[in-house]
A and B are shown apart, each in its own frame.
Chain A
């Protein structure tokens, strides 16, 4: 079969929302669950749970990367402060109180993104293009990799990308980034109130 790929006209926000929800596995890996398709905050981001139980906020804007990032950061902060409540509401989070991951999708990476990315292990940035593949609309996602100087261009097709794992690996464990305690020295767990208090400085 002949494969005909060409760029398509930019889409609007609602069309992009649908495409992003369809591409959730590429963005978040397998085993994710959609929690809210349209949150009632600026930019109306999407809320998912990933396979490990992190709440994942997808903030997007068809054109403005800066707006997508700022809206995402603002909503992340609100979600972080309401984490105990969110864990009660959504069963997919399994009550693990894990910190919120933020995924920002826009036509271009937001300005200063490399510096922001290196400081925020729970942030993942994607840029997108709308493609027309044999008459079907498809979404091409390119993830900004903070380990390399230039974004990768080797996967410009509708082939699913490898799962975006690094952000997940960088996410702090409940024990923190310090050396795990010695065997036998089990540390007490934190209450909801304590967890929320130590969520941020």
Chain B
């Protein structure tokens, strides 16, 4: 008896190639060496709107509280479509920091900088999921970045999962792009809470841990190979 999956869950034929690429990447992964352990790792965030800047601000603070010294950097936006060297962008501000969080709001900036990792902040609504998908689609041309998702403002964990699943299934099905679930910030976690609020800190801590543990930051070659 043959079993048929819903078309949504069927991968495109090319996915076997992608699996091979992923396997190769894991096999060639090496732990941090002294060379790159000292360098500052840049984590770019694409915000849905400027009002989400509190997320990166608080994540930066939580990373620091958890022993990962972090600094928040800003780029002059919008960039034009010309590729641009990122290697000197954060400048001397990052010295002594392990992580540099880089919030941007323009898709053009992401394209011009050719980030190989990107965290997308996605508001918890169907229309925002659709917008996020279109942004991912715009980034799906080579070179494809690895994209992590943080859902902002769902009612609870189940709602967050539904929004992430919708986006992840769509991206995998139509763009052959897997997404990484980095967590969520529920609707009762708001900027008004203040960064010392425990409830808020717990959710931010989970996201920061996933970022650190999954090594979700720009590779060194990416930051110096532009231009």
Q: Residues on A close to B: CB < 8 A?
A: 172-179, 181-182, 184-185, 187-191, 193-194, 197-198, 200-201
CB contacts (< 8 Å) of A187 on chain B: these are 107, 131, 134-135, 137-138
Question: How many angstroms between the C-alpha atoms of A200 and B105 in the bound complex?
Answer: 26
- Residue contact B126 to A200, C-beta cutoff 8 Å: yes
- Residue contact B127 to A194, C-beta cutoff 8 Å: no
CB contacts (< 8 Å) of A191 on chain B: these are 174
Partner of A193, one of B107, B133, B174: B174
Return B93 CB to nearest CB of chain A, in Å.
25
Main secondary structure of the interface of B (DSSP, over half): helix
Question: How many angstroms between the C-alpha atoms of A175 and B159 in the bound complex?
Answer: 21
- Residue contact B138 to A182, C-beta cutoff 8 Å: no
- Residue contact B173 to A197, C-beta cutoff 8 Å: yes
Query: B193 on the interface (CB 8 Å rule)?
Result: no
- Residue contact A197 to B107, C-beta cutoff 8 Å: no
Closest B-chain residue to A180, C-beta based? B131
Closest A-chain residue to B174, C-beta based? A194
Q: Which B96-144 residues have C-beta < 8 A from chain A?
A: 105-108, 123, 125-131, 133-135, 137-138
Return B162 CB to nearest CB of chain A, in Å.
5
Closest A-chain residue to B128, C-beta based? A178
Main secondary structure of the interface of A (DSSP, over half): loop
Closest 10 CB pairs of A and B: A176-B127, A179-B49, A177-B127, A187-B134, A176-B131, A178-B128, A185-B107, A172-B127, A198-B130, A176-B130
Query: B48 on the interface (CB 8 Å rule)?
Result: yes
Query: B11 on the interface (CB 8 Å rule)?
Result: no
CB contacts (< 8 Å) of B106 on chain A: these are 181-182, 185
Partner of A179, one of B48, B77, B133, B163: B48
Return B79 CB to nearest CB of chain A, in Å.
10
What is the 8 Å Cβ interface bit string for chain B, positions 147-189, against chain A (1 contact, 0 not)? 0000000000000001100100010011000000000000000
Q: Given A175-B130, A178-B48, 20 more contacts at CB 8 Å?
A: A172-B126, A173-B127, A176-B125, A176-B129, A176-B130, A177-B123, A177-B128, A178-B123, A178-B125, A178-B128, A181-B106, A181-B135, A182-B105, A184-B108, A185-B138, A187-B135, A187-B137, A190-B134, A194-B170, A198-B170
CB contacts (< 8 Å) of A200 on chain B: these are 126
CB contacts (< 8 Å) of B126 on chain A: these are 172, 176, 198, 200-201
Question: How many angstroms between the C-alpha atoms of A9 and B65 in the bound complex?
Answer: 73
CB contacts (< 8 Å) of A190 on chain B: these are 130, 133-134, 137
Partner of A177, one of B125, B138, B163, B174: B125
Question: How many angstroms between the C-alpha atoms of A4 and B125 in the bound complex?
Answer: 50
CB contacts (< 8 Å) of B107 on chain A: these are 181-182, 185, 187
